[in-house]
Structure 1
């Protein structure tokens, strides 16, 4: 690996580590001490792996874990947790199609499942939006409605949503074509509700804007999106720590799966390269799975002939 390639890998790592820490701060609400420790662990690991964290393979992480043998158990657990969360972030955001972190020492920390909103709680968010549309149909209100419709109705990632090109939306086209990392394209459905919400918002978007949700010289930021969703949660009398753009994306997947959607279809809708990511992300109550088997299996209605 040339020196120029090493510098390029290090630069990419630093940029994505910064984005990861931004997400941990805005969405997860990690403390400054946790962010400082995670940032230090990730940057150090990036320097220790020749090809960098983003391009690292299982063998690279295995060697890195072996080098941690001189550290105390708590330190190893923290370092493993930092890298596992980072790789989960890379997969979720589409920067990697696989997660090599299984090669790291087991930290004893179970993966935390995304927070879940019930259908009733989501309804409360939309009730507030409907009330705001009646009382204050301002551009800010119309923009928020369009953002939430796409988060919950289409399951977009926060990064995908804020950076949507204006030309991606066409009134007579019931889907968006998104191009993620690795130049992978996927179709994202747009409901009639979302279509109407976007059309109402588009009236206020400058004709020369490249973005569907412009702000200043670019587009609305992820941080601003988080702030808007948190404020909406408070208005709907929901704990702000339980509601975020990612939680609404997870609600999209969970509620579809509870309604009988196929896991492979969800994989395509969510843009996951690996089905195992979808299985972890779309956590459903085990009772729902048992009920699905008992009602949908072809042998349900076949009488058992006793011997």
Structure 2
């Protein structure tokens, strides 16, 4: 069912863990699925809370339990839905980490500098070129890392200005790609070809040694953290590929891009999700006033 809805492997694994957590709790308490009522559901929520899970994790795990019991009712495998009278658990909305334009440029320039250095050897240089191409693609388009890693090898030929991306729910959308990104992709493909002697047939971002293997999300996360350290960014351990998506959206919105347009570019189902970037703008304004306003500076030195 999850794959039919276009869920990623990572999402499926997360929901599987959530479901296993619930089933393990039932087993620990010698309870069957048909014995669960509202009181037991409250006990389960209390157990989750007692394990110091983040409130967003608790909310997601309750959502999975709701889905399980609704499925049992739909398949006539359960007598009642114990979650039907439970109030909805709202997930707290956290503002994502957003790099400034200067920080984003520092990250990208660090990646490009390594990709331009042949003294590291062809294998490592090709890896650095792939890194620079991936970062540029994410920041140019605002696509999700899962979307970037599923791009086909012929997705961005020279001169490409728009990419067709397959997003959540198997929905397609067009995203922008500027000249610097296409140039970075071309360099990556040139060096990868020079190293392996063969052109990739499937993936745009693939293993340097084996072009039939796509770059993994885990490898992409490690690479951007390495680059964040090299670029001297604050809290590099908190930098992830998704941060470049947030940077794209925030910088585009700050530059005057309408929310509805941004919604289409990001592939959000509703504009409500996109509205977080208006909060980010407000948050950054408050920080700028706090850090840069001369009266605040005088107060701090008083």
TM range (shorter): 0.5 to 0.7
Going from structure 1 to structure 2, the CA distance change for 1:127 and 1:180 (only over 3 Å counts) comes to: closer
Q: CA deviation at 1:269?
A: 0.7
**Partner residue, 1:276:** 272
CA distance in 2, matches of 1:148, 1:46: 40
CA distance in 1, matches of 2:141, 2:179: 11
CA distance in 1, matches of 2:247, 2:220: 17
Match 2:229 to one of 228, 231, 234: 234
Q: CA deviation at 1:46?
A: 8.4
CA distance in 1, matches of 2:285, 2:246: 17
Q: How many residues align?
A: 237
Going from structure 1 to structure 2, the CA distance change for 1:20 and 1:69 (only over 3 Å counts) comes to: closer
- Farther off after superposition, 147-156 or 273-282: 273-282
Query: Which runs of 5 or more structure 2 residues have no equivalent in the other structure?
Result: 26-35, 64-85, 120-124, 287-302
**Partner residue, 2:146:** 159
Verify the 8 A CA contact 1:154 1:190 in the aligned structure 2. yes
Match 2:97 to one of 115, 127, 131: 115
Q: Does 1:222 align with 2:239?
A: no
CA distance in 1, matches of 2:202, 2:236: 32
Going from structure 1 to structure 2, the CA distance change for 1:197 and 1:46 (only over 3 Å counts) comes to: farther
Query: Which runs of 5 or more structure 1 residues have no equivalent in the other structure?
Result: 1-7, 22-37, 49-62, 89-102, 291-307
Match 1:213 to one of 205, 209, 216: 205
Going from structure 1 to structure 2, the CA distance change for 1:232 and 1:105 (only over 3 Å counts) comes to: same
CA distance in 2, matches of 1:16, 1:207: 29
Verify the 8 A CA contact 2:48 2:58 in the aligned structure 1. no
Instruction: Determine helix, strand or coil for the equivalent of 2:94.
Output: coil
CA distance in 2, matches of 1:196, 1:169: 10
Please tell me the root mean square deviation across aligned C-alpha atoms, in Å: 3.8
Q: Does 1:261 align with 2:253?
A: no
Q: Which entry has the higher C-alpha Rg, 1 or 2?
A: 2
Equivalent runs, 1:101-180 vs 2, <5 Å:
105-106=88-89, 110-136=92-118, 138-180=125-167
CA distance in 1, matches of 2:62, 2:260: 22
**Partner residue, 1:81:** 56
CA distance in 2, matches of 1:118, 1:64: 49
Q: CA deviation at 1:165?
A: 0.5
